[in-house]
Structure 1
């Protein structure tokens, strides 16, 4: 492999660009490998899992680009400058600026805030000149790089922006004026109020494909909830404009419920309609990840959700959702590969029909499903029949994750007997992982029969939530050890 030509090596390294351990090891193979991998590593050097604060070599590389006059001037002010000749023109490959990481590197030179400011001015000035074009920009803890003379030329081809909402709106206005081809926007929200600049930035984009919003309020601010002034609605209303291009939507909203006497009271107290109604418009999504209390107690939203078809949806991850609503979202999702739900909400009066319809919907529309979260359903003949049909049709299924919902006390072992039998009869040989909550238990005999009949298939990983039920009987633990040795069980978690 060490004799492969540069073109082949480059293609291989491109495919492995996220594997920093591998890429760094390639630097030491020979000169050709080194010359080939350096441009890939330096395209976006700040992305890798490195403690940059302690990397004096990176500081030396960056400061080596300073002119001799600047170096001499900074040295006189007490800034540590180490002379170093460079084997490569590293920054000529760079297409990324990460303000926070670079500032950490700069701080190696001096503990003085004033000296760090001087270094920032000089380093960002030559960075914006030296980098041929900036594709990735992270301006959390911002330095006013967008006002440098070369910013317009270097930033107009920006593809990915990470920013936080504490930045002055005028900074965003400037970015919005320069950068209108951003495809990925990641917003860290630390602002209790709306930032009009972020809304304008989103509005002016012409090909926005990826949007991620993460709430990161101060953990020491105990009363932030009372002072929150809706930093969301304007932004999420503007996202509807990008419904034709947006294919990745990842939202993580912080919410509090510790002080509520009933967990579900939060849905009546807090208004999350800005997100609900944005979702109704985003019909071209391929990936949808939601961590927020959004999907309850809104009949108008439910009626409109029935009419939406997410035909391109491949990955759906939601923290908490009603069984009826997830059924609406999954319906017509012929491309769905992953359905990951942390918890289901259910109405006992409707759960019989909702759970049955959910199983039927997966069976009818989600034949490509690989990872499936499913509520524990009533142990009734109709549900069992439909679940068997699901297993027969979903032959790509790799992971089956049951979530505690419907609970019939005293029938836990009965459900375990049924489940083990139907998995042996109907489950695809692709199934590699099974997660079982406390609502379902396996008797020792049932579990032994299941594992014995699983022989010949790929090893299975099992996660059994009711740990004490299995641990209190040493016979279970011996059984697990035996079938791990025989290669039937890959991992067991009890």
Structure 2
């Protein structure tokens, strides 16, 4: 151990997987740890570790604790002895009954409080944090604002950043809270809530907002215009796009024509929804073989999709030409359901996407789009979508989507929306950046795509023409930053 070689350690991360190492007793440990200011650890680390730290470290400013069933008594002691705790993060907790009373001591110093829990906890203690600058509350989607009522009339005069993930049935509490505390807010996040009244409250009570992440349904574009008109300090907005949310083309037009003078960054979230019928996977090899991936996703993004994947619902197809798809029903009746079929011409399969389930991830990695090997395929009826009905939709779709531009095959997947067949991403982007270039005052623009529950690229990204437009305006200095980020790598 090189404790005596480190004059003053400022940051320490100690996960629960680390075995017992009594480094706090090593020569030089006291001097090394005396000025420790940041600690990240698990709640169930052996108590002796925390007891030793509590005798050495009294000036920890940032404490990040991940809860794992057991709360060590030594951790309670460590929190108690701190003199200048400013930044506190609790993750993965079910109950904070033992910890909350200790936080009262730090109410005047605490500037940032982040709570990521499974179950709701009493929130009344937050009312004492009069110097709080940042508040993040993220609970299970089934509970949301269950205990938020007590905070609806609380005033936090220095609060600048407010973030919520998921919300319950009564969002009036949050609106009331914004009425009291919205004036000084610079950043507001409310994810997992589809409520236009909250967005209107933002427009009314948050005039100094600089960054906003919220949900707009596709018929709520006028609300976005109102926010742009009233929140003149707004610099960045993050929204969901496609499906039931804002259409991309409409969003771009509103941003170009209605965003306030300081606005310069747009973050667009994407998520595959069940109502988006199919993905057209077009691929050309030396034999000009067409391979189609029908995609049908259940409304429930978690339970049903995993159940569906576990049952391995595969679609069997035995054909030499796409036109033979129309005769599939008749051919199917003559086949034994357990027959092993080899199909070199076409393999169609359906998968569900849910990254939150580890078991799902393992299966998904084995079943990526590019894996077109011969397989044993079975037919299952699923959620009243009968084989005959599915075949009709598949044939109708393939007639419309496949073979129309046989010289323009692409190995990129294209997401088709029932109401979005004429989307021209290149023209949309060109029009947007042309308008943006002519804005006064001129400001470089940042465009960020955030993809969730979907292994395909976005409609704006997938076309080569879109990339050309983006590269063009990057060279001109109009685009400052362009990124494509996975949802789970993006902070709340």
| Superposition TM-score, scaled by structure 1 size | 0.52
* Alignment partner, residue 432 of structure 2: 450
Q: Which residue of the partner structure matches residue 313 of structure 2? A: none
Quickly say closer, same or farther: Cα 1:418–1:170, change in 2 above 3 A: closer
Cα drift, residue 244 of structure 1: 1.2
- Which of 238, 244, 252 pairs up with 2:108? 244
Select 1:312's aligned residue among 152, 155, 158. Answer: 158
- Aligned with 1:316: secondary structure? strand
Distance 1:478 1:185 in 2: 46
Structure 2 residue 247 is matched with structure 1 residue 412: yes
- Mapping 1:4-83, distance limit 5 Å: 62=2
Does structure 2 conserve the Cα–Cα contact (< 8 Å) formed by 1:310 and 1:333?
no
Question: What 5-or-longer segments of structure 2 have no aligned partner?
Answer: 272-416, 485-492
Contact 2:145/2:167 (8 A) holds in 1: no
Q: Relative contact order: is structure 1 or structure 2 higher (C-alpha 8 Å, sep ≥ 6)?
A: 2
Q: 1:313, CA displacement in angstroms?
A: 2.4
State the distance in 2 between where 1:328 and 1:307 align.
7
Secondary structure at the counterpart of residue 212 of structure 2: strand
1:306 deviates by 1.0
Report the counterpart of residue 50 of structure 2 in structure 1.
Answer: 172
1:126-175, CA deviations, whole angstroms, 9 ceiling, x for partnerless residues?
A: xxxxxxxxx65666545335457987787666544444333333553454
- CA apart distance, 1:325: 5.3
For the structure 1 residues 384 and 285, does the alpha-carbon distance in structure 2 shift closer, same or farther, using more than 3 Å as the test?
closer
Counterpart in the other structure of 2:120 = 272
Q: More helix by proportion, 1 or 2?
A: 1
Which residue, 98, 101, 104 being the options, matches 1:234?
98
Aligned match for 2:80, one of 188, 199, 203: 203
Task: Tell me the secondary structure at the aligned position of residue 234 of structure 1.
Answer: coil
In structure 2, the CA distance between the partners of 1:425 and 1:352, relative to structure 1 (3 Å rule), is closer
Where 1:199 maps in the other structure, the secondary structure is helix
Tell me what 1:353 maps to. 197
C-alpha RMSD of matched pairs (Å): 4.3
Aligned residues: 321
* Matching of residue 399 in structure 1 with residue 236 in structure 2: yes
Name the structure 2 match of 1:293: 140
Match of 1:284 among 126, 131, 139: 131
Which residue pairs with 2:60 in the alignment?
182
Deviation at 1:202, TM superposition (A): 1.5
C-alpha distance 385-481 of structure 1, shift in aligned 2 (>3 A): closer
In 2: Cα distance, 1:162 partner to 1:384 partner: 39
Counterpart secondary structure, 1:233: coil
Match for 1:488 among 478, 488, 492?
478
Q: Deviations over 1:393-429 (max 9, x none)?
A: 22xx332111369937xx837xx44762464344224
Query: Distance in 2 between the 1:298 and 1:289 partners?
Result: 13
1:243-302 CA-to-partner distances (Å, cap 9, x unmatched) read: 11111223444x5xxxxxxxxxxxxxxx3215x444444342223344442783655x33
Are the counterparts in 2 of residues 295 and 325 from structure 1 also a CA contact under 8 Å?
Answer: no
Against the structure 1 CA distance between its residues 310 and 150, is the aligned structure 2 distance closer, same or farther, given a 3 Å change threshold?
same
